[in-house]
Amino acid sequence: MLGAESAASWQPLPAWLAAAVAFGYLFLLFAVAYHADRQARLGRSWIDAGWVYALSIAVYCTAWTYFGSVGRAASSGLWFLPIYLGPTLVMLLAAVVVRRMVRVAKQWRITSVSDFIATRYGRAAGLGRFVSLFVFVGVVPYVALQLKAISFAFDVLTGVPTAPVPGWWADRSLWVAAVLVVFAALFGTRHLDVTERHEGLVAAIAFESVVKLGAFLLLGAWVSFIVFSSPGAIVEAAQARFGTAIPPIDAVGGLQYGDWAVMIVLAGLAFLLLPRQFQVMVVENVREGHVERAAWQFPAYLVLINLLVLPVALAGRLFFGDSQLDPDTYVLALPLAQGQSLLALLVFVGGISAATSMVIVESVAVATMICNDWVAPWWVRRRQVAALGHAEIASTLLWVRRVVIAAVLACGYGYYRLTGESFALVSIGLISFAAVAQLAPAALGGLFWAGGSRTGAAAGILTGALVWGYTLMLPSLARSGWFEAHWVEAGPWGIAWLQPERLFGVQGMAPLTASVVWSLGLNTLVYVLVSLVFAPRGEQAQWARRFVRVDAAAGSGGAWRGRVDVAAAAEVMARFLGEERTRELLASHARERGLASPDALEVDAAFVRFAETMLAGAIGGAAARLVLETLLEETSPSFDDVMHVLDEANQIRTYSRMLEEKSRALEEATRRLQEANEKLTELDRLKDEFISAVTHELRTPLTSIRALAEILADDPDLPRDDRLRFYRIIVRECERLTRLVNQVLDLAKLESGHGQWHPEALEVRALLQEAIEAIAPLAKEKEVRLEVSLASGLPPVWADRDRVVQVILNLLNNALKFVPAGTGIIEIRAGRQGEGEVAVHIADNGPGIPPEFLPYVFERFRQARSDATKPAGTGLGLAICKRIVEHMGGRIWVESVPGKGAKFTFTLPLAAGAAHEDGGRNDDEEDPGGR
Amino acid sequence: MTKKILVVDDEENILISLEFLLRRAGYAIALARDGDEALAQAERFSPDLILLDVMMPKKDGYEVCHLLRQDPRYERCKIVLLTAKGRDIDRAKGLALGADDYLTKPFATRELLERVERLLAPAPGAA
């Protein structure tokens, strides 16, 4: 016991030395991380080892542990322990909880604790955003705490500067924070895909864990075995000095065993759900097997780092108990007071390492959360992103993460500057713990209880967050002097039961315990009740089952293996067939087998056959069999594999859905093709008919010609009259043949579209007069009267001159053919028809057309041959007229009253610009062209 | 005894040529220009043979052929279809309906006369 009574004063180390050591250490960290990254790229992963994993989890031990544990132990004895007992218990149960989380996270490529919760509740983006924001707010004090610890360690080591602070830039913790931002940004945002791990980061964290453990053990050993003879000697000395060396748990500051238990639970929950813990334990996990080893390695680490806390604390009390020295400074004060500068620097480095590792991982984890939940979805939704390549998107998002990392540290720094001075390390840390613990009901409940729903989770977390903020955060801010603290004591507006630290008037709990009990209790209650009311359905229920069942497959359980229940099979089917359809199918299958409900189904051969058939419909036979075999086989592969197969199959299903769409499109195309084919067949039939009709029309005159020619040839003594008569018939039939051939060719030309058209602006009047002049001699011969009445000032039409004349002549010839000789009258009129057309009417007083024949007048070879007197025509004239008129954009039709004649009308479109032109010519109103 | 032939066609010039040809070969001729007229003439004229065009107004040759074949009075009357459609299906259809022969237009006059003669010759062993 040397110098035990010495005062709390020592020779401070020079500031430049402390700074050099601190920054030197940080650069060593850079080197470690850089080297680990390089090794990983060469295929030699440093972090793929169980003990590295366990060491990385030791990021849990922050500066709070490092300085605060001794402080706490010095003031409250064993009360430093619950913070470590909680995680120890959790790790001993790692196979139940952590392993499941790791498995789920790997299965669904989960990137953060907020992503975990959002995914569990059906990829609930809103819930994820809320959780990440809340966690962000919750961990900012914790980051502040680390920065405060660094600054505090500087002060202890180099002495509190007496001169007034020259400016913000002189604050060393700010520069440390800046270096940490660079580090976290460099090694925490290497890749966009979280499944590519941060080798360098994790290696550096593990290294830091070694440093802080080594430094603390060294200090403890020095205190216990060199300053004092043994830990026992310290305890004895303390007992001699203070009466009791280690006070009983319930003898400290009004705390009870209940508070102790609550602290353990709180620490355990925080250990699982703190963003940095989730990052190293779940996201950065290389192998599931590492979890099993860490289950004892990490508790062993905790034992080691806490082993000498009490001796150091008691020694500190023995040395500095009388001075007002902050117990948190004991770890540094002890070596300094003894003149052990080198040891003090080592301990300082240990403290820096504890603080920096936490800050780095926490900021990376929170940045990932904020980036993925807030920035990425918003940014990806913007249109320009679609145009960017993967590399550009990745680099942009990585930069966003870097900015968020800087923001997290900036917030932490700001919080520290604003409130830092007023609080002990422990209380700041506990505020963050209590915040993060609010995620527990949703996260852990979601892992074990399929009934937990999105609404329940959101309501629970919101409730917990509100109670936390009101009972813990607000009082802490009030005590920091942000606003008046008296309402914390009296309750807002003096309402006692609203006192934040004695909610509902319940007394007897420490403020922290009360806050945790109320917030977590109400949180859990609301989560369960709301989930029961708004149970998960559809996709959400699928996600619930995925999370809850993830562990049942492999691991220890035998229940699932080889004895698949119908529900599991149904879940698989639902993934491919949809929930509703699966329910229908199961119900009908149950009915077929004479069962009352699908619940009575059992997995037997028939059921498997049924399931396979149904699945095969969705994903094909081979994949269906694979899925079911994997599900059913005795030596079933792990659930991971099944899920992997399912994922692949799911992709296949996506493809198959695309295929279905394609095949629907194909069906549509086929249908159209069929229509086209039918049309073609119809056209082919019409062509055959046409050829047959043409053949008939050709053979008929040929028959007469041949018969008569043979008669003439056989009998040279034929009477002259007969001979002449026959010659004349032959000539007429030849003319008929010629006409027919010409018209067939004409029609073919019109129909194929190869005809030569020379449209121009034409005066209908002139054309009609031309045609009438051409037909006049024939009319005269048959004594048929032509009555012409053409409106004056008709605008020009747009048409082919020769074709229009052909149509008019054809119609006039037609009329002439049918009107009775002697009394026949043909009326020819022309006038405006509507806005843009000129109409030509040609009417006769012939026999007319029978009504049943009217629809076919313009078809080929459809002459009305109702009477025996067959007009000499080819049967193609009107068909040709129709095609010509329609080609020029006009219409043609016929009206007829049988026995009174027929009236043909055709229209032609006006030449461009003629439509609205005022017919300003002063021709005769009518041309009384009667002949 | 002079054999009687009814010629049915809607083409005036064919009627002219066939009437001249057959009359000169020594047959008695009646003419008809459509299906209805053909049936009326058949009843009035009781021909031994009918040259029947297929494509005609009112009733076509097939229909006339069918009606005649159902009437026992024309049991012994020969029917020769004349058609401008030279397709096998038309020929088969005509023979199925009870026509005795089938000629495609245009035909050689000698061929027509030979067939008519053969059809009108007394059946061997019948007398």
Contact B108 A868 (CB under 8 A): no
- Nearest-Cα residue of chain A relative to residue B59: A866
pLDDT of residue A557: 31
What is the DSSP pairing of strand A901-909 with strand A837-844?
Answer: antiparallel
**What's the pLDDT score for residue B51?**
93
What residues of A are in contact with residue B21 (Cβ under 8 Å)? 707, 711
More reliable by pLDDT, A99 or A490: A99
On the question of pLDDT at A905 being above 80, the answer is: yes
- Lowest mean pLDDT segment, chosen from A253-262, A369-378, A495-504, A593-602: A495-504
Confidence band of A77 (pLDDT split at 50, 70, 90)? confident
In a domain, B23, yes or no: yes
Alpha-carbon span A468 to A447, nearest angstrom: 23
pLDDT interval class at B22 (50, 70, 90): very high
**pLDDT, tens only, A686-729:** 778 778 778 888 888 899 999 999 999 988 888 889 889 999 99
The correct answer on CATH 1.20.1740 for the domain covering A36-229+245-309+326-437 is yes
Q: Is the model's pLDDT at A685 over the cut of 50?
A: yes
- B89 contact A CB<8A: no
Q: A872-902: per-residue pLDDT in tens?
A: 556 778 888 888 888 888 888 888 888 888 8
pLDDT-derived band at A379, boundaries 50, 70, 90: low
Is the Cβ of B88 closer than 8 Å to some Cβ of chain A?
no
Q: What's the pLDDT at A489?
A: 65
pLDDT digits (tens, 9 = 90+) for A100-115: 888 887 776 677 888 8
Fold entry, domain A671-748:
Helix Hairpins (1.10.287)
Which pLDDT tens digit goes with each residue over A126-149?
888 888 888 888 888 888 888 888
Q: What is the CATH classification number for the domain harbouring B38?
A: 3.40.50.2300
Dihedral (Cα; A255, A261, A263, A267), 10-degree rounding? 170
Q: Residue A876 has what pLDDT?
A: 79
Partner A contacted by B36 (CB < 8 A): no
Asked if residue A296 has pLDDT above 60, the reply is yes
Judged against a pLDDT cut of 80, whether residue A458 lies above it is answered with yes
Strands B28-32 and B4-8, sheet pairing: parallel
Rounded to 10 degrees, the C-alpha dihedral A465/A470/A471/A474 comes to 120
CA pair distance A685, A683, nearest whole angstrom: 5
Q: What residues of A are in contact with residue B12 (Cβ under 8 Å)?
A: 870
From residue A742, alpha-carbon distances to A501, A696, A774 in Å are 111, 16, 20
Structural domain span for residue B69: 4-120
**Model pLDDT, residue A727:** 92
Residues in chain A with CB shorter than 8 Å from the CB of B33 are 868
d(CA A631, CA A684): 59
B109 CB neighbours in chain A (<8 A) are 706-707, 710-711, 714
Q: What is the pLDDT of residue A388?
A: 57
* Residue pairs between chains A and B whose CB atoms are closer than 8 Å: 78
Task: Kindly report the CATH class assigned to A758-909.
Answer: alpha beta
Cis, bond preceding B106 (omega within 30 deg of 0): yes
Average pLDDT of the residues in A423-443: 79
Flag if B106 and A703 touch (Cβ within 8 Å): yes
Q: Which of A75-89, A618-632, A668-682, A770-784 has the lowest mean pLDDT?
A: A618-632
Q: Which of B9, B10, B13 to mutate to test the interface with A (most CBs of A within 10 A)?
A: B13
Tell me if B13 and A708 make a contact (CB, 8 A cut-off): yes
Cα angle value A772/A774/A778 (rounded, 5°): 95
Residues 6+ apart with CB under 8 A from A543: A119, A120, A121, A122, A123, A536
Question: What mean pLDDT do residues A311-333 have?
Answer: 82
Summarize pLDDT for A613-632 with one digit per residue, the tens. 776 665 555 556 666 666 66
Q: Which of A688, A703, A726 to mutate to test the interface with B (most CBs of B within 10 A)?
A: A703
With CA atoms as reference, the chain B residue closest to A692 would be B85
Who wins on pLDDT, B2 or A173? B2
Average pLDDT over residues A260-284: 88
Give the closest of B57, B84, B87 to A866, CB-based.
B57
Q: Which residues of A touch B (CB under 8 A)?
A: 692, 695-708, 710-711, 714-715, 722, 725-726, 729, 732-733, 865-866, 868, 870
Give the pLDDT score at A926.
40
- Residue B59, domain member (yes or no): yes
> Percent of chain A at pLDDT above 70?
78
Judged by average pLDDT, the poorest of A5-19, A193-207, A255-269, A504-518 is: A5-19
User: What is the tens place of the pLDDT at every residue in A348-364?
Assistant: 888 888 888 888 888 88
Average pLDDT over residues A789-802: 83
Q: Which of B13, B85, B86 sits opposite A704 (nearest CB)?
A: B13
Kindly state the percentage of chain B with pLDDT values over 90.
31
More confident residue, B48 or A338: B48
Highest mean pLDDT among A68-77, A637-646, B66-75: B66-75
The whole-number pLDDT of residue A705 equals: 92
Residues linked to residue B4 through DSSP beta bridges, in sequence order: B28
Q: Is a pLDDT exceeding 80 seen at residue B25?
A: yes
User: pLDDT per residue over A499-552, tens digit each?
Assistant: 666 666 566 567 778 888 888 999 999 999 998 888 877 777 777 877 777 654
pLDDT range class, residue B116, cuts 50, 70, 90: very high
Is position B126 within any domain?
Answer: no
Query: Which residue from B17, B33, B104 is facing A707, i.e. has the nearest CB?
Result: B17
Query: What pLDDT score was predicted for residue B7?
Result: 94
Residue A419, pLDDT above cutoff 50: yes
- What is the pLDDT at residue A526? 92
Q: Can you spell out the DSSP letters for A392-426? A: HHHHHHHHHHHHHHHHHHHHHHHHHHHHGGGS-HH
For A728, which residue in chain B has the nearest alpha carbon? Answer: B13
In which band, very low, low, confident or very high, does the pLDDT at B50 lie, cut at 50, 70 and 90?
very high
pLDDT of residue A498: 65
- B100 at interface of A, judged by CB pairs closer than 8 A: no
The pLDDT, as a whole number, for residue A527 is 92
Quick: pLDDT tens for A220-262: 898 888 888 888 888 888 888 777 767 766 666 666 777 888 8
Distances (CA, A) of A55 to A47, A94, A193, A295, A428: 10, 15, 24, 12, 24
Among A286-290, A455-459, A739-743, A817-821, top mean pLDDT goes to A455-459
* Closest-CA distance of chain B to residue A706, Å: 7
Q: Which residue ranges make up each domain of chain A?
A: 36-229+245-309+326-437, 448-551, 552-637, 671-748, 758-909
Which of A691, A696, A702, A704 is the best residue to mutate to test the B interface, defined by the most B CB atoms within 10 Å of its own CB? A704
Q: What percent of chain A has pLDDT over 90?
A: 5
Residue among B14, B85, B108 whose CB faces A710 most closely: B108
Per-residue tokens: A790: 């053409």
Look at residue A563 in the predicted model and tell me its pLDDT. Answer: 47
| pLDDT-based confidence at residue A866 (cuts at 50, 70, 90) | very low
Vertex A61 angle, CA A55 and A66, to 5°: 125
**pLDDT at position A359, please?**
84
**Beta bridge partners of residue A760, listed in sequence order:** A799
Average pLDDT for A676-684: 85
Chain A residue with minimum CA distance to B11: A700
- pLDDT value at A341 more than 60: yes
The pLDDT of residue A646 is 58
Interface test with chain A among B20, B41, B112, by most A beta carbons within 10 Å? B20
How far is residue A695 from each of residues A246, A674, A875, B60, measured CA to CA in Å?
125, 30, 13, 18
Mean pLDDT of chain A: 77
Mean pLDDT on A789-812? 84
Residue A496's pLDDT band (cuts 50, 70, 90): low
Q: What are the CA-CA distances from residue A80 to residues A7, A71, A149, A252, A310 (Å)?
A: 26, 9, 17, 12, 9
Distance to chain A for B127, nearest Cα, Å: 34
Q: Based on the number of CB atoms within 10 Å of its own CB, is A596 exposed (0-12), middle (13-18) or buried (19 or more)?
A: exposed
How many domains does chain B fold into? Answer: 1
Q: Which of B7, B17, B54, B85 to mutate to test the interface with A (most CBs of A within 10 A)?
A: B17
* Residues of A with Cβ-Cβ distance to B14 under 8 angstroms: 700, 703-704, 707
Q: Do A704 and B17 touch (CB under 8 A)?
A: yes
Q: Do A703 and B105 touch (CB under 8 A)?
A: yes
pLDDT value of position A854: 77
- pLDDT class for A918, splitting at 50, 70, 90? very low
- Closest residue in B to A726 (Cα) is B17
Classify residue B72: in a domain, yes or no: yes
Q: Do A704 and B55 touch (CB under 8 A)?
A: no
User: From CA A572, how far away is CA A568, in angstroms rounded?
Assistant: 6
The confidence score (pLDDT) of residue A551 equals 55
Taking phi over 0 as left and psi of -120 to 50 as alpha, with beta for the rest, A205 belongs to alpha
Instruction: Return the residue of A nearest to B25 by Cα.
Output: A711
For residue B101, being part of any structural domain is answered with: yes
B84 at A interface, C-beta within 8 A: yes
Find the range with the poorest average confidence among A123-137, A284-298, A310-324, A562-576: A562-576
**B93 interfacial to chain A (CB closer than 8 Å):** no
Q: Is the pLDDT of residue A819 over 50?
A: yes
Distance, in Å, from the CA atom of A911 to the CA atom of A913, rounded to the nearest integer, reads 6
